[in-house]
Chains A and B, each alone.
Chain A
Amino acid sequence: MIRARRARLAAALAVLGANAAPAAEPPPAEIRPPAGAASCTGCHAAGAAMGALDGRPESEIAGALAAFRSGERPATIMNRIARGFDEAESRAIAAWFAGRGTP
């Protein structure tokens, strides 16, 4: 029983090893959207009446989020959403959209 399991494990590992070797280099982690960014396009995709975020300057997006968070900039809903992100998270989201083409 144990021997059979060991044999299965060895076979599995052999397959794993053989398979894993030619694995393609994973794309750099930087290309992934930072936490929260994927949700933004539910309202702010290209062509959106509420304003697309792609290609907007990083400082503009990060500044808007900070102003929504503090309440300095009036809002219907973005004040409630911006409070879910700290300064570093907001900057990461801003940088992600700023790096995505033109608005």
Chain B
Amino acid sequence: MCATLSGPAGTPAPTRRALIGGAAATVLACPARAGTAPRVVVVGAGFGGATAARYLARGGAAVSLVEASPTYVACPFSNEVVAGLRGIEAQTFGYDGLGRAGLTLLPATASAVDPDARRVSLADGASLPYDRLILSPGIDLRFDAVPGYDAQAVTAMPHAWKAGAQTVLLARQLAALPEGGTVVLSAPANPYRCPPGPYERASLIAHFLKTRKPRAKLILLDAKDTFSKQKLFEEAWATLYPDVLEHVPLSSGGQVTAVDPAAMVVRTDFAEYKADVACIIPPQRAGRIAVLAGCADRSGWCPIDPVTFESQRVAGIHVIGDAAVAGAMPKSAFSANAQGKVCAQAVLDLLAGRAPQTPKLINTCYSLVAPGYGISIAGVFHPANGLLADVPGAGGTSPLGAPAAQRAQEAAQGEDWYRTITRDAFG
């Protein structure tokens, strides 16, 4: 068994060098089980996990993909659902395509990982052995971070930061907003899923209010002073939503310090906001299974090797997508998809006894500030000093002051991207 060579149980947390040593031993040992394909378990069938599983199966690994949900509801473009511009069905993907990819889809919840025995326990009692494990669990919302915002508060004050029922709920609450009503939206401090997401949401809610709810206002309470695509958003807001959207940055007292869902009140250090609709995007951490597996550090996120995405804390486990600390690479669907493919190749290499190549990864992220008005940010990343760093000279945002035709072109390209990446991930 590979596992017996990865280090005796009960030893102290291994150093990075030791982990690499352990990985090397595993590499040599795994092809040993003659006649059997190496077993890879992937937990989580979002953009990262589904992509990794498909590419691993294509590479000849025996892949088990553990996912409790029967469908995936995608976050990109879910702000359009919030603003009534799109149905939730356009966000929803079945897993039939994954079944056709030659992998085993297990409808189950992963409840524990034993990294020494190299086994994943499922909630139904089953236990899956693995040679390498990929965790792509996405995020968990931190219900201990904003006083008053616990798991019960999400009905009165949806986060809608995991697409699905929450997205639909927020859309319904907005549709029922009284004329002249107040919407409060809060954005968390870094890091969190989808850095420009709260600002796209603010834009599209402002569009909804402007076109459907005369005299209604949106207050964006922000725990930051700077954010992704900031100048582009601010340029658009000044033109499109000057009387609808008020952005309160950190330095003006934008940090939410408490909420009272029963009274529909959102508090900061300086003010109290009575909301008709409140969307609270709380701080986040890596999805629970990554924490249970020991991959998360005190920040709540999972440090990884930037070449293989192997956990810096637990040998044999790779972490991709929003849960990973990927340096300059943002937590986005595009990043998770790109990381899934790089990690799949690295795992195939390690299992075959080859040294993984030094990768480069791309991220592209479109935001819609109004229908037909798209903006983007792109980046190219490479391993540097143990993290994924920006490749100097590459990347950046759409230009300020671009003509409407270019904004329209980027809006259309965002749609094209969504159709393509969801097919690349889910088949």
Q: Which residues of chain A have a CB within 8 Å of any CB of chain B?
A: 8, 12, 15-16, 18-20, 22-24, 26-27, 29, 32-36, 38-45, 47-50, 76-77, 80-85, 89
Contact count A vs B, C-beta below 8 Å:
139
Contacts of B409 in A (CB 8 A): 76
Asked if B353 is at the interface of the complex by the 8 Å CB criterion, the answer is yes
Asked if B413 is at the interface of the complex by the 8 Å CB criterion, the answer is yes
The stretch among B82-90, B275-283, B313-321, B360-368 that forms the contact with chain A is B360-368
State whether B337 touches A42 (Cβ < 8 A).
yes
State whether A16 touches B25 (Cβ < 8 A).
yes
Contacts of B360 in A (CB 8 A): 35-36, 39, 84-85, 89
Q: Which residue of B lies closest to A89 (CB)?
A: B360
Asked if B404 is at the interface of the complex by the 8 Å CB criterion, the answer is no
State whether B5 touches A40 (Cβ < 8 A).
no
**Beyond A35-B358, A77-B364, 4 additional pairs, beta carbon < 8 A:** A23-B31, A42-B424, A47-B420, A81-B378
Q: Which residue of A lies closest to B28 (CB)?
A: A20
A-B contact pairs, 27 of them (CB 8 A): A12-B5, A15-B4, A16-B25, A19-B28, A19-B32, A20-B31, A26-B352, A29-B354, A32-B357, A33-B341, A35-B359, A36-B362, A38-B342, A43-B417, A43-B421, A44-B420, A48-B416, A48-B419, A50-B417, A76-B406, A80-B395, A81-B364, A81-B395, A83-B391, A83-B394, A85-B360, A85-B380
Residue from B28, B334, B380 in contact with A84 in the complex, judged by beta carbons closer than 8 Å: B380
State whether B341 touches A39 (Cβ < 8 A).
yes
Contacts of A34 in B (CB 8 A): 357
- Per the bound structure, the CA–CA distance linking A42 and B55 in Å amounts to 13
State whether B362 touches A40 (Cβ < 8 A).
yes
Residue from A29, A41, A77, A80 in contact with B413 in the complex, judged by beta carbons closer than 8 Å: A77
Min C-beta distance of A45 to chain B, whole Å: 5
Which of B25, B410, B417 lies at the interface centre, i.e. has the most chain A CB atoms within 10 A of its CB? B417
Kindly list the 10 A-B residue pairs having the minimum CB-CB distance in the complex, ordered from nearest: A84-B380, A19-B32, A84-B394, A39-B362, A38-B341, A23-B31, A49-B416, A36-B360, A35-B360, A39-B338
Contacts of A47 in B (CB 8 A): 420, 423
Contacts of B25 in A (CB 8 A): 12, 16
State whether B410 touches A81 (Cβ < 8 A).
no
Contacts of A16 in B (CB 8 A): 5, 25, 28-29
Min C-beta distance of A81 to chain B, whole Å: 5
A20 touching B424 in the complex, CB below 8 Å, given contacts A12-B5, A35-B360, A76-B398? no
Asked if B311 is at the interface of the complex by the 8 Å CB criterion, the answer is no
State whether B410 touches A43 (Cβ < 8 A).
no
Min C-beta distance of B329 to chain A, whole Å: 11
Contact with A along B322-354 (1 / 0, CB 8 A): 000000000000100110011001000100111
Q: Which residue of A lies closest to B336 (CB)?
A: A42
State whether A81 touches B417 (Cβ < 8 A).
no
Residue from B345, B353, B379, B416 in contact with A32 in the complex, judged by beta carbons closer than 8 Å: B345
A12 touching B334 in the complex, CB below 8 Å, given contacts A38-B359, A42-B364, A76-B406? no
**Interface members, chain B 1-44 (any A CB < 8 Å):** 4-5, 8, 25, 28-29, 31-34
Min C-beta distance of B14 to chain A, whole Å: 16
A18 touching B4 in the complex, CB below 8 Å, given contacts A35-B360, A38-B359, A39-B362? no
- Per the bound structure, the CA–CA distance linking A82 and B380 in Å amounts to 9
A81 touching B4 in the complex, CB below 8 Å, given contacts A18-B32, A42-B362, A45-B423? no
Which of A34, A38, A43 lies at the interface centre, i.e. has the most chain B CB atoms within 10 A of its CB? A38
A38 touching B357 in the complex, CB below 8 Å, given contacts A15-B29, A22-B34? no
Residue from B28, B338, B379, B380 in contact with A38 in the complex, judged by beta carbons closer than 8 Å: B338
A49 touching B420 in the complex, CB below 8 Å, given contacts A20-B28, A35-B358, A76-B406? yes
Min C-beta distance of B271 to chain A, whole Å: 39
Min C-beta distance of B405 to chain A, whole Å: 10
Asked if B312 is at the interface of the complex by the 8 Å CB criterion, the answer is no
Which of A23, A24, A45 lies at the interface centre, i.e. has the most chain B CB atoms within 10 A of its CB? A23
Contacts of B413 in A (CB 8 A): 50, 76-77
Contacts of A81 in B (CB 8 A): 362, 364, 378, 380, 394-395
- Per the bound structure, the CA–CA distance linking A19 and B394 in Å amounts to 45
- Per the bound structure, the CA–CA distance linking A85 and B391 in Å amounts to 9
A76 touching B376 in the complex, CB below 8 Å, given contacts A50-B413, A84-B362? yes
Contacts of A49 in B (CB 8 A): 416, 419-420
Q: Which residue of A lies closest to B380 (CB)?
A: A84
State whether B420 touches A43 (Cβ < 8 A).
yes
State whether B357 touches A35 (Cβ < 8 A).
yes
Min C-beta distance of A44 to chain B, whole Å: 7
